[in-house]
Amino acid sequence: MKFRNKIVIGGLVPLFCVSAILFFTVDGFLRKIDRQAEQTKIDEIAENVEDEVNRHLSIVQNPLRETFAELISKLYSWNEINGFFIKFASVYPQIERIALVRGGKKIVEISKWPRGVLDRTPVNKNTSLSNIFWFNKKPFVNFEIRSVDFVVSGTIELASLFKKVNSFTFSPSGKIKVVSSKPRNNIRGKNVLSFPLLNGEWSFELNDDFSALSNPEKRFRRIFLGFMLIGFLISFAVLKVISDDFARKLGDFSSGPGDEFSAVSKKIGELEKKNKKLRELIEAQDSVGILGRNVSVIGHELRNPISAIKNALYFISTQISEDVKKSDVGKHLRIMKNETKMISHMIEDILTLSRIKPPLRTNCDINEILSEVVSVFGEDETLVEFYFEKGGIPNIKADVAEMRQVFSNLIKNSVEAITPPGKIFIRTSSAGKGVKVTIKDTGCGIPKSKLGEIFKPFYSTKSAGMGFGLATVRKIVEERHNGKISVRSAEGQFAEFELFFPAEG
């Protein structure tokens, strides 16, 4: 799978887990609170129901039962009895029928039903309790209050007891199941409360369900889901941005089949192979010296003709008179000599810069080499004074020709920087485990901004020349002899080069 997709998933999964944990914790907590509230409500309802039942059936329970019997025993005239019954019946509307029998004769009866109807209603012994009966799909109960000389009998309706009830069910065990008015959804819990009624023959079962979610809980769920959705969208957007940025930074590696990193490591593998091949190629060239040899061969070949020209010029100069030397002929000879020198220097520089083989180290006396170089320059540059302070220095392991080239190039630069008259100071000294050489001229100096540039190839302030001089010097000193070269200068005043060569090379 693409790594950038892993980023997105990797960001969303923890978010999801945290959300889930949060949700279930809070939801569970709310649910518990809910249940407790439900329980409290049920307890209330149960109490209410009990009270109501008791009230409803108070006529058949003491103390009202006794009081009632006592009251009736004091009533004698028919009018009194009738009035009492009517009043009583209106106070207790649940009484459907009430009758007084004295000495075997029914004296008075008040009934909401036609005469004798309730008396005659059959009682189904299988489905009803001892004195509950159903008539017209409604429950009733008969009662009797006996006294010495009379019996009061009656019927109490039960339907109004259960105002909150949707339906009744009878259970064979003798319990009436009362189902609350709450909508029937997802019946989960049952809170059963049974309490005795009329000497334990009846009981009510309050069956409440906790199917519906409470409002607070619903609200919580809605809000939580809302926030979670927003959170997910924001997270997704952020992760997508990160993943796209990631894909963009990887550029080509992110497209194509497979995981981005396999593309990267494949590319690295390819590059390593190429690198190895290049290295082999360079080494092959190095051992054969193809490129180097071409330049090298040309360079060496050029030394002979230059040598011959030099020699010829010298010879001519020994054969001509002073007058000729001062004339135009002499001028042209000098021109030829200088140009030949320049060619020679250029060749040396090219050969050095293209050199692949290591320097040839022999014991070198720097003082001796410097002396030779200085004497060569000294003769030609009569307007420049050379001051050479020879310090006590050890021999060093170095390539003689290259040392000569270094000093030649530096002194040549110094000479060219000087508008005569001028001075060049050369000093050698022992320094640590090596030799220090300083070459200072009173020439035009080097501007500060250029101090870092001067050692680069092709840097030149002259109209002629390729600018290899100092690049060659640095290559020889630092790369080929493990030495150091540094420069100090004040524009218009001086330039000083300081070189260090370790004795062991």
Partner 1 sequence: MSDKKILIVDDDFSVRETITDILKSQGWLVEGVPTGREAVEKTEEKNFDCVILDLRLPDFNGFEIIERIKNKVDKSKIVVITGYATDRIIVDALSKAEYFLLLKPVEPKQLISVVGKILEQ
Q: Could you list the residues that contact partner 1 (CB under 8 A)?
A: 300, 303-312, 314-315, 318-319, 344, 355, 357, 359-360, 362-363, 372, 376, 379, 399-401, 404
Cis before 63 (ω within 30): yes
Pairing of strands 202-207, 95-102: unpaired
Q: Which residues contact 448 (CB under 8 A, 6 or more apart)?
A: 489, 491
Strands (DSSP E) found in 23-167: 95-102, 105-111, 132-135, 138-146, 150-157
Tokens at 209, concatenated: 């369900």
**Nearer to partner 1 (CB atom), residue 235 or residue 285:** 285
Residue with structure tokens 């310090």?
A: 391
Q: How far is the CB of 369 from partner 1 (least distance, A)?
A: 11
Q: Which amino acid is it at 126?
A: N
**Nearer to partner 1 (CB atom), residue 107 or residue 306:** 306
Helix residue ranges per DSSP H, 114-259: 117-120, 215-250
**Nearer to partner 1 (CB atom), residue 47 or residue 368:** 368
**Nearer to partner 1 (CB atom), residue 159 or residue 309:** 309
Tokens at 341, concatenated: 């020198």
Q: What is the CA radius of gyration of the chain?
A: 62
Query: 465: closest CA among 332, 350, 307?
Result: 350
Q: How far is the CB of 359 from partner 1 (least distance, A)?
A: 8
**Nearer to partner 1 (CB atom), residue 155 or residue 367:** 367
Q: How far is the CB of 305 from partner 1 (least distance, A)?
A: 7
Q: Which amino acid is it at 164?
A: K
Q: How far is the CB of 303 from partner 1 (least distance, A)?
A: 4
Q: How far is the CB of 401 from partner 1 (least distance, A)?
A: 4
Q: How far is the CB of 375 from partner 1 (least distance, A)?
A: 8
Q: How far is the CB of 247 from partner 1 (least distance, A)?
A: 54
CB 32 within 8 A of CB 170: no
Q: How far is the CB of 489 from partner 1 (least distance, A)?
A: 30
**Nearer to partner 1 (CB atom), residue 240 or residue 310:** 310
Pairing of strands 202-207, 176-179: parallel
**Nearer to partner 1 (CB atom), residue 402 or residue 441:** 402
Tokens at 308, concatenated: 């011959």
Q: How far is the CB of 407 from partner 1 (least distance, A)?
A: 14
CB 261 within 8 A of CB 67: no
- The phi, psi pair for 498, rounded to 5°, reads -120, 125
Q: How far is the CB of 450 from partner 1 (least distance, A)?
A: 32
Cα dihedral 47→49→55→56 (10° resolution)? -170
CB 238 within 8 A of CB 216: no
Q: Which amino acid is it at 28?
A: G
CB 317 within 8 A of CB 325: yes
Helix residue ranges per DSSP H, 354-468: 366-380, 400-417
**Nearer to partner 1 (CB atom), residue 174 or residue 292:** 292
Cα–Cα distance, 156 to 57 (Å, whole number): 8
**Nearer to partner 1 (CB atom), residue 178 or residue 403:** 403
**Nearer to partner 1 (CB atom), residue 61 or residue 340:** 340
Q: How far is the CB of 262 from partner 1 (least distance, A)?
A: 49
**Nearer to partner 1 (CB atom), residue 5 or residue 311:** 311
